[in-house]
Amino acid sequence: MTRTLILTRHAKSDWGTPALPDHDRPLNARGQAAAPEIGAQIAARYMPDAALVSSARRAQETWAGLGLTGVEMTTDPSLYLAAPDRLLERLQRAEGACVLMIGHNPGFASFARQVLVTPPVHPSFAKFPTCATLVAAFDVDAWNEIRPGTGRAVDFVVPKDL
């Protein structure tokens, strides 16, 4: 059986209020426009069974902007600025054949590199910019079987590509 991971970094956030805590930063206009575009790509090709989303406002707004109705979403505070080992541990407890995770750099960029056998050929992959989305397939029966370096890159897209 195959398990599919959709790893999406939150869309572009607003830095216009310096006193606002990082966790509470909203999306800016560019981020609000990018999320539905990425959501349309996800829905057309890889509709997830479940979504695990950081509790940060910008991640929650990205989730809402994707417009993936009918997908069960879980807000997970431990995904806020999570390191790759924490992301792997959380994914290993996921349910469903196709899981979407929404979170933050630098953890997402590192996790994306670590989880794949070979990275996709894309000039933006190493940076994993805002709203970047990696789709990776794992030839396992359950999420708890995945290990670093076992995923196969199926797709990688950034808003500039659309």
Whole-model pTM: value is 0.97
How many contiguous H segments (helices) and E segments (strands) does the chain have?
4, 6
DSSP label at residue 102: E
Output the pLDDT for position 60. Answer: 98
Residue 4's pLDDT band (cuts 50, 70, 90): very high
% of the chain surpassing 70 pLDDT: 100
Q: What is the dihedral of CA 123, 125, 127, 129, to 10 degrees?
A: 100
Mean per-residue pLDDT over the chain, rounded: 97
- Could you tell me the residue ranges of all domains in the chain? 22-161
DSSP 145: G
Determine the CATH number of domain 22-161: 3.40.50.1240
Closest CA to 3 of 100, 120, 155, 142: 142
Return the residue matching tokens 């707004």: 61
Residue type, 1: M
